[in-house]
Amino acid sequence: MDHPSPGLAEAVSLPEQRQGHGLGPAETQDEAVLATEGLTWRIGEVAIVDGVSLRLRAGEFLGVIGPNGAGKTSLFNLISGLRAVTAGRVLLHGADITALPPHRRARRGLGRTFQSSSVFGGLSVRENVRLAVQAQRGGSMALWRRASAYREVAERADECLATVGLAGRGEVLAGTLAHGEKRKLEIALLLAGEPSVLLLDEPMAGVSAEDVPELVEVIRGLTAHSDRSVLMVEHHMDVILGLADRLAVMHHGALLACDTPDAVMADATVQEAYLGEGL
């Protein structure tokens, strides 16, 4: 997307907002739910993603930042299977999923939101989520012949809506939702797939300033009191600093740093990378 990256200086001066969920440092929780090893995507001679090795732990919130064009969305495309890697591996719960298509990665617990929406505007909010739950549970129309199965699907859909704060909006046509609520619905659709790892690509894009705090709280809730892990690209530094346990910084396709937000912000190489982009 074409938008200005915010400056680090602005971000550093923001108030501390992180609310840890009790995860210890890297050494005490080194079982990665998602790992990339030397992940590389080249177009001709140009490495768009260049040997990125990352580890995401259970319950962890890992933010991905970097100047425009650093390769963040491309990294997500490789992890979710939208693009085939040139080299390297993607591991989910220790299993190599590098060769699997996106829907099979999703079945194994890897959920992704897209910058473009997958919402059916002509259906109600609840109907959208019911369809997603039904798809997760096998999708056959035979499912609906059992009243109890229908009830279970409806209940699970309502749970997903409640989790994202849309409990009272089930009957509204999805196409009429404002950007902020639409993003919440997209997250509810993702939750219907019961993912253990969520990839969120710029969830605040297009959301009005007054809707941002509520959406931030919904996203914060995704890892609170659960083993769910989140990998999130976000340009709003105040938002990502308030959410992330660690930050991965990309620059020219490579991973420049991956550490606690405080350590990353103090890193001279990171500051240079942002300043080098003329910010």
Ligand X SMILES: Nc1ncnc2c1ncn2[C@@H]1O[C@H](COP(=O)(O)OP(=O)(O)OP(=O)(O)O)[C@@H](O)[C@H]1O
The site for ligand X (CB under 6 A) is made up of 1, 43, 48, 66, 68-74
Distance CA(135)–CA(256), nearest Å, equals 39
Count other Cβ atoms within 10 Å, centred on residue 226.
12
Q: Closer to ligand X by CB, 26 or 47: give it.
A: 47
Phi and psi at residue 257, to the nearest 5°: -160, 155
Beta carbon of residue 138, minimum distance to ligand X (angstroms, whole number)? 34
Q: Closer to ligand X by CB, 48 or 161: give it.
A: 48
Beta carbon of residue 208, minimum distance to ligand X (angstroms, whole number)? 20
Q: Are 41 and 86 in contact (CB under 8 A)?
A: yes
DSSP string, 80-113: HTSS--SEEEEEETTEE-TTS-HHHHHHTTEEE-
Beta carbon of residue 114, minimum distance to ligand X (angstroms, whole number)? 13
Closest CA to 232 of 81, 62, 66: 62
Q: Closer to ligand X by CB, 69 or 206: give it.
A: 69
Q: Closer to ligand X by CB, 66 or 88: give it.
A: 66
Q: Closer to ligand X by CB, 75 or 161: give it.
A: 75
Q: Closer to ligand X by CB, 138 or 278: give it.
A: 278
Distance CA(60)–CA(12), nearest Å, equals 22
For residue 258, CA distances in Å to 25, 36, 53, 65 come to: 13, 13, 10, 10
Amino acid in the structure at residue 229: S
First to last CA, the chain: 17
Beta carbon of residue 52, minimum distance to ligand X (angstroms, whole number)? 11
Beta carbon of residue 153, minimum distance to ligand X (angstroms, whole number)? 35
Q: Closer to ligand X by CB, 61 or 76: give it.
A: 76
Residues 6+ apart with CB under 8 A from 62: 54, 56, 229, 230, 231, 232, 244, 245, 246, 247, 248, 258
Beta carbon of residue 86, minimum distance to ligand X (angstroms, whole number)? 13
Distance CA(202)–CA(186), nearest Å, equals 12
The residue written with tokens 């199965």 in the block is 149
Beta carbon of residue 77, minimum distance to ligand X (angstroms, whole number)? 7
